[in-house]
Chain A
Amino acid sequence: MLSLRRADPGMGYHAARGGSLVPMLLVLLATLFVTALAAPAVVRFARPAAAPILAIVPALATFWLISVAPGVLRGEPIGLVRSWVSGLEIEFALHLDGLALLFALLICGIGTLIVLYAGAYLGTHPQFGRFMAALLGFMASMLGLVLADDAIALFIFWELTSITSYLLIGFDHERADARKAALQALLVTGLGGLALLAGLLLLADAAGTLRLSDMAAARPDLPLDPRAAAIVLLILAGAFTKSAMAPFHFWLPGAMEAPAPVSAYLHSSTMVKAGVYLVARLDPALCDIASWSRLLVAFGAATALIGAFTASRQRYFKRLLAYSTVSSLGIMVLLVGLGAPQAAAVYILAHALFKGALFMIAGVAEKRTGRKDVEALGDLRRAMPWTAAIAPAAALSMAGVPLFLGFAGKELLLKAALSAGWAAPFVVPCVFAAGASGVLVALLVAWRPFHAAPEAGALPVAAREGTPLLLAGPLLLAGLGMLAGLFPFLGARAITDAAALAIAGPRGTGLVRIDVPALAAPGAALALSLASLVAGVLLYRARARWRAIAALGGVIDAASPQRGYTAALDGILRAARFQTRLLQNGRLRIYLFVCLLSTIGLVLLAAARTGTLPGVPADDVAISAPDLVFLIIAAVAAIVATRLRGRLSTIAMLGGVGFAVAMLFLTFGAPDVAMTQFAVETLTVIIFVLIFHHLPRFAVFSGPWVRLRDGLLASAFGVLMGGLVLLVRRDAVFPPISDAFAARAAPEAHGRNVVNVILVDFRALDTLGEILVLAISGIGVYTLLRLFIRKEREA
């Protein structure tokens, strides 16, 4: 037994903050994002070699991470801080400590293999460029997520992983199932993301810092804060949806609609672990809140059990692996909750290696045989000898057979479960069931199709061996799982220890290192581990009977959260349809009526509450003669427009109103505004002329009383707006900003036209927003007209 040295958070970090020559972390992230953007072009110009070329980038990232690993493992994290939103005290901070290193290595290392695998798996797909862009974009986002040391940055990367995974799950977007699964994953993780944002902001507010690495030490009395419960619930809502914890686990099996490389990468080794990463990252700050650990233990153990049970009933490759992943995610969360960081770190590493390998194997088997049902296959070792040889290597780790890394993970897990105190009676059975189910799944995925005889009467299957690039990934991952189990001193131990220290946080000083040899010391944990192995094998042999018994568990499906999700979605759509029919009924005058009436009502309400009433400023009410002329022209034209019975004349009158107002702008010394108004009026009239003969007959829809009502409303609104302008002039609270603009335009912005300087310089961001809206509405008009024209032609 040996006490681990705790990393000094200040050391090295400040050195990097002060004067690191090249901000390598930033370069790393930026390079990956740029590679993602460049992926479609690379695929277009170098199609056969595109995947190997693109894989160079994550491979280099992996090597860089390995090269800095010794320093990080010595307890010298690499950090980086850049000013970001200075007004809100938000800084962009990255931080590479042991926990981030473990995840970053998984993301970049497995990512490299996945890129190669995807090239072999999907390389000929016409949309392969888009696929690689989304995959690399996801990789970059995920890396950003684990490196982020700022709550806001973490949230942004978190959402980016949701969006990129939406694109990846829905990659085969012409299939309705894929679209539905993608939307479901996006909605569930997206809603969780919103909860997470609220939780992070509350936590940051309570801790007084947005810096994740400072949060643990910031508020020792956090459990006493009245917001503690809300913080825990909101953050867990985010983490649990992302990591498919029960009752949110239903989206993960659906996400298996994605191509195999995506399942292998996102849904086993990386994205679903984001929630686990988050609870591990925040555990030092939140573990003193009693409900935090209890919820982690309760939901983790329950998810492990539900995932294990559901997995044991499946017979399709991906469903088996998906539900067993749900079970494993539950175990990881459980381990964080139990305060067993070493076990959590080893389990995360072991799971990523074997599950990534098995998903890739499953992809190869599905692709090369065209079958998804493991029971429909058998004796594939003759046609696919290499695949058949690699698969058990990964499966043995998953089953937790001694000498493999999975065994170490299981051993630590059982030890943690046995010493769980009050929770042990609940936790140990869940963990045992998860272990047995893992053995069953491992046998079904890696043994049944390859080494067992096919079912009597099964259709013959034409199978071909996978190409070397398809098998390189699983081979390497399974091999690593074996080596890390056999030779724990070869680096894997150092990395998991450093990750465990980071998870433990300030408690790390007291962390006791548990030695796990490849063959464990005898004890209760070993006995349980071997018992679960035996139970799994027995389950496998009696699986036909077990499925019949477990089918009774189908009642669970009736109350499954999937149904709740569907019902909620339908309910929202119904509510939307109802309120659309009510409010958006397609009659322009109703829209105007509602808008004007509510504006008047709100303004009057505000006026009544503050006691202010519109009034005329005493100083200047002079109206010059030309102004009066234009005002009268505008008023007369407006009134005449309401009385006319012809479309052209009405349009002309409305144009008259516009031109008269434009002339007013001119007399008030605003030539820019006037000019724009003239141009707009002209274009409007032209548009009317262009669509003139498409329009229906000019009709009067309203009777005299309705017209009177509308007239009164219109007049009231005009009076109100006029009154408001006068009020603003009378009761100006702040000195008008226009003087400052006028004074600064020439010296600071090199322009004498103040209006233009405001538009393109002082308030350029507003203008940017406006032209964006303009462009979007242009796209909308285009789409509507195109659809309309196409429908008309088809009709």
Chain B
Amino acid sequence: MNSLVLRTAARFLLPLLLVFSVVLLLQGHNEPGGGFVGGLVSASAFTLYAVAFGRDAALRAVGINLQVLAGLGVTIAILSGVPALVLSEPFLTGHWATVPIPGIGDVKIGTPLLFDIGVYCTVWGVALIMVLNLAEE
């Protein structure tokens, strides 16, 4: 769509929406959000970009093959269950570590977060596969 307003808006909205999606992903464990909705938001961001600049530009902006992205998501989610297996616990049992990050304080990082990142990538990739392939002229 050749609209200056849309293009300008899309250019600014893409990073904003992406940051928002990451915030949703990271805060998901305690506040509303999570990997699923985060992935949807980030897919929406690139969809908006595709509407403004076309499908190929959006694909370039993603920077990674969408099928690879979706597969990567599933792989990350599966890998997040492996530490439990190594410790002879049921697959996907959560493990947490407190990491002090300067300026923020102690941050709890755990395998469920890794799992959620996997969900994020899968949803992001699959939603874009569907949207961008449908958008092909």
List which B1-54 residues lie within 8 A (CB) of chain A.
24, 28-37, 40-41, 43-44, 47, 51
Check A679–B41 contact: CB distance below 8 A: yes
Residue of B nearest to A674 (CB): B32
A-chain residues with CB within 8 Å of residue B123 when the two chains form the complex: 771, 774
* Complex CA distance for A654 and B21, rounded to whole angstroms: 26
A-chain residues with CB within 8 Å of residue B133 when the two chains form the complex: 781-782, 785-786
- Min CB distance, B20 to chain A, in Å? 11
- Min CB distance, B137 to chain A, in Å? 9
- Asked whether any CB of chain B lies closer than 8 Å to the CB of A598, the reply is no
Known A691-B134, A774-B123; contact A756-B29, beta-carbon cutoff 8 A: yes
A-chain residues with CB within 8 Å of residue B77 when the two chains form the complex: 767-768, 771
Check A751–B37 contact: CB distance below 8 A: no
* Complex CA distance for A680 and B127, rounded to whole angstroms: 10
Query: Considering only CB atoms and an 8 Å cut-off, how many residues of chain A contact the other chain?
Result: 41
Known A676-B37, A759-B36; contact A785-B134, beta-carbon cutoff 8 A: yes
List which A747-770 residues lie within 8 A (CB) of chain B.
749-753, 755-757, 759-761, 764-765, 767-768
Q: Which of B119, B126, B135 contacts A760 (CB 8 A)?
A: B119
* Complex CA distance for A671 and B110, rounded to whole angstroms: 24
Residue of B nearest to A781 (CB): B130
- Asked whether any CB of chain B lies closer than 8 Å to the CB of A779, the reply is yes
Known A749-B112, A779-B67; contact A771-B29, beta-carbon cutoff 8 A: no
- Asked whether any CB of chain B lies closer than 8 Å to the CB of A672, the reply is yes
Q: Mark B59-82, 1 if CB is under 8 A from A, else 0.
A: 000000001001101100110010
Check B73–A771 contact: CB distance below 8 A: yes
Known A777-B126, A781-B130, A782-B129; contact A765-B92, beta-carbon cutoff 8 A: yes
Check B34–A753 contact: CB distance below 8 A: yes
- Asked whether any CB of chain B lies closer than 8 Å to the CB of A624, the reply is no
Q: Mark B96-137, 1 if CB is under 8 A from A, else 0.
A: 100000000000101011011011001101110111011110
B-chain residues with CB within 8 Å of residue A683 when the two chains form the complex: 40, 43-44, 47, 127, 131
Q: Which of A690, A756, A782 contacts B135 (CB 8 A)?
A: A690
Our count of residue pairs bridging A and B at CB distance below 8 angstroms stands at 140
- Asked whether any CB of chain B lies closer than 8 Å to the CB of A686, the reply is yes
Check A759–B125 contact: CB distance below 8 A: no
- Min CB distance, A773 to chain B, in Å? 10
Q: Is the interface of B mostly helix, strand, loop or mixed?
A: helix
Check B34–A756 contact: CB distance below 8 A: yes
- Asked whether any CB of chain A lies closer than 8 Å to the CB of B83, the reply is no
Known A83-B88, A782-B67, A782-B133; contact A774-B112, beta-carbon cutoff 8 A: no
- Asked whether any CB of chain B lies closer than 8 Å to the CB of A772, the reply is yes
A-chain residues with CB within 8 Å of residue B110 when the two chains form the complex: 750
* Complex CA distance for A757 and B108, rounded to whole angstroms: 14
Residue of B nearest to A675 (CB): B37
Residue of B nearest to A760 (CB): B112
Residue of A nearest to B31 (CB): A753
- Asked whether any CB of chain B lies closer than 8 Å to the CB of A682, the reply is yes
Check A767–B119 contact: CB distance below 8 A: yes
Known A687-B131, A690-B131, A761-B94; contact A672-B30, beta-carbon cutoff 8 A: no
- Asked whether any CB of chain B lies closer than 8 Å to the CB of A491, the reply is no
* Complex CA distance for A757 and B37, rounded to whole angstroms: 14
Check A686–B28 contact: CB distance below 8 A: no
B-chain residues with CB within 8 Å of residue A782 when the two chains form the complex: 67, 129, 133
- Min CB distance, A23 to chain B, in Å? 13
Q: Which of A686, A755, A767 contacts B131 (CB 8 A)?
A: A686
A-chain residues with CB within 8 Å of residue B129 when the two chains form the complex: 778, 781-782
Check A764–B136 contact: CB distance below 8 A: no
Known A686-B44, A768-B78; contact A749-B32, beta-carbon cutoff 8 A: no
Check A764–B81 contact: CB distance below 8 A: yes
Known A690-B134, A760-B35; contact A753-B41, beta-carbon cutoff 8 A: no
B-chain residues with CB within 8 Å of residue A689 when the two chains form the complex: 51
Q: Which of A752, A761, A785 contacts B112 (CB 8 A)?
A: A761
- Min CB distance, A724 to chain B, in Å? 26
B-chain residues with CB within 8 Å of residue A680 when the two chains form the complex: 40
Q: Which of A750, A759, A765 contacts B34 (CB 8 A)?
A: A759
* Complex CA distance for A68 and B51, rounded to whole angstroms: 67
A-chain residues with CB within 8 Å of residue B135 when the two chains form the complex: 690-691
Residue of B nearest to A785 (CB): B133
Residue of B nearest to A688 (CB): B134
Known A675-B33, A749-B112, A756-B33; contact A775-B40, beta-carbon cutoff 8 A: no
Check B136–A785 contact: CB distance below 8 A: yes
Residue of B nearest to A759 (CB): B34
* Complex CA distance for A687 and B78, rounded to whole angstroms: 30
* Complex CA distance for A675 and B31, rounded to whole angstroms: 12
* Complex CA distance for A686 and B108, rounded to whole angstroms: 37
* Complex CA distance for A778 and B37, rounded to whole angstroms: 17
Check A676–B74 contact: CB distance below 8 A: no
- Min CB distance, B46 to chain A, in Å? 11
Residue of B nearest to A752 (CB): B30
Check A775–B34 contact: CB distance below 8 A: no
- Asked whether any CB of chain B lies closer than 8 Å to the CB of A789, the reply is yes
* Complex CA distance for A749 and B136, rounded to whole angstroms: 43
- Min CB distance, A108 to chain B, in Å? 27
B-chain residues with CB within 8 Å of residue A682 when the two chains form the complex: 44
Check B32–A675 contact: CB distance below 8 A: yes
* Complex CA distance for A690 and B112, rounded to whole angstroms: 35
A-chain residues with CB within 8 Å of residue B91 when the two chains form the complex: 765
Known A687-B131, A752-B30; contact A771-B119, beta-carbon cutoff 8 A: yes
Residue of A nearest to B113 (CB): A760
Residue of B nearest to A85 (CB): B90
* Complex CA distance for A778 and B133, rounded to whole angstroms: 10
B-chain residues with CB within 8 Å of residue A687 when the two chains form the complex: 130-131, 134
B-chain residues with CB within 8 Å of residue A750 when the two chains form the complex: 29, 94, 96, 108, 110
List which A729-755 residues lie within 8 A (CB) of chain B.
749-753, 755
- Min CB distance, A682 to chain B, in Å? 6
B-chain residues with CB within 8 Å of residue A778 when the two chains form the complex: 67, 70, 125-126, 129-130
* Complex CA distance for A767 and B80, rounded to whole angstroms: 13
B-chain residues with CB within 8 Å of residue A83 when the two chains form the complex: 88
Residue of B nearest to A693 (CB): B137
- Min CB distance, A613 to chain B, in Å? 37
Residue of B nearest to A672 (CB): B32
Known A683-B44, A686-B131, A771-B118; contact A755-B34, beta-carbon cutoff 8 A: yes
Q: Mark A613-657, 1 if CB is under 8 A from B, else 0.
A: 000000000000000000000000000000000000000000000
Check A757–B29 contact: CB distance below 8 A: yes
Residue of A nearest to B27 (CB): A753
* Complex CA distance for A771 and B71, rounded to whole angstroms: 10
* Complex CA distance for A347 and B71, rounded to whole angstroms: 48
Residue of A nearest to B91 (CB): A765
- Min CB distance, A756 to chain B, in Å? 4
B-chain residues with CB within 8 Å of residue A757 when the two chains form the complex: 29, 112
Check B126–A775 contact: CB distance below 8 A: yes
B-chain residues with CB within 8 Å of residue A789 when the two chains form the complex: 136
Q: Which of B37, B51, B108 contacts A679 (CB 8 A)?
A: B37
Seed contacts A686-B51, A752-B29, A765-B91; 11 additional CB < 8 Å A-B pairs: A749-B94, A750-B110, A752-B31, A753-B34, A756-B28, A760-B35, A760-B113, A768-B77, A774-B126, A775-B71, A775-B73
A-B CB proximity, top 4 nearest: A778-B126, A679-B40, A671-B32, A751-B29
Q: List 8 A-B contacts (CB under 8 A).
A: A686-B44, A687-B134, A690-B135, A760-B113, A768-B92, A768-B115, A775-B125, A778-B70
